[in-house]
A and B are shown apart, each in its own frame.
Chain A
Amino acid sequence: MSERSDLRYGGFTTLFYKEVLRFWKVASQTVAAPVLTALLYLLIFSHVLEGHVQVHGVAYTAFLIPGLVMMSVLQNAFSNSSSSLIQSKVTGNIVFVLLPPISYMEFFAAYVAASVVRGLVVGTGVLFATFWFAPLTFVEPIWILVFAVMGGAILGSLGVIAGIWADKFDQLAAFQNFLIMPLTFLSGVFYSINSLPPFWQKLSHWNPVFYMIDGFRHGFFGISDASPWLSLAVVGGCLVLLATFTLNLLKRGYKLRN
Chain B
Amino acid sequence: MSPAIRIEQVSKRFGSTRALDNVDLEIEQGEFFGLLGPNGAGKTTLISALAGLVRVDTGNLSVMGYDVQSDYRAARRHLGVVPQELVFDPFFSVRESLKIQSGYFGIGDNDDWIDEILENLGLASRAGANMRMLSGGMKRRVLVAQALVHRPPVIVLDEPTAGVDVELRQTLWQFIKRLNEAGHTIVLTTHYLEEAENLCNRIAMLKDGRVVALDTTKQLLRRFSAHALRLRTGGVMPKELTSEATESGGWWSIPFNSFDEIEPLLVKIRTAGCEIDSLEIGKPDLEEVFIRVMQGAHHE
Q: Which residues of A contact B (CB under 8 A)?
A: 1, 3-11, 13-15, 17-18, 21-22, 25-26, 88, 91-93, 95-103, 253, 257-258
Contact = CB atoms under 8 A, between A and B. Distances in A.
**Which has the most chain A C-beta neighbours within 10 Å: B87, B88, B90, B91?**
B91
A25 B91 contact: yes
Contacts, number: 100
**Which has the most chain B C-beta neighbours within 10 Å: A26, A98, A100?**
A100
Contact of A101 (B53, B87, B105, B151): B105
A4 B114 CA distance: 13
Contacts of A91: 87-90
A253 B108 contact: no
Nearest to B89: A93
A21 B110 CA distance: 19
Given A96-B146, A101-B73, A9 B55 contact: no
B151 A1 contact: yes
Nearest to A23: B91
B55 A258 contact: yes
B227 to A, nearest CB: 42
Interface of B: 51-55, 72-74, 76-77, 79, 81, 83, 85, 87-92, 96-97, 100-110, 146, 150-151, 153, 182-183
Contact of B106 (A5, A22, A93, A99): A5
A3 to B, nearest CB: 6
Contact of B87 (A10, A22, A92, A258): A92
B77 A101 contact: yes
Contacts of B104: 11, 14-15, 96-97, 100-102
B52 A10 contact: no
Pick the 10 closest A-B CB pairs, nearest first: A14-B103, A6-B108, A100-B104, A92-B87, A101-B73, A9-B108, A101-B76, A93-B87, A9-B103, A5-B106
A185 to B, nearest CB: 30
Nearest to A253: B55
Contacts of B51: 98-99
Nearest to A94: B87
A10 B146 CA distance: 16
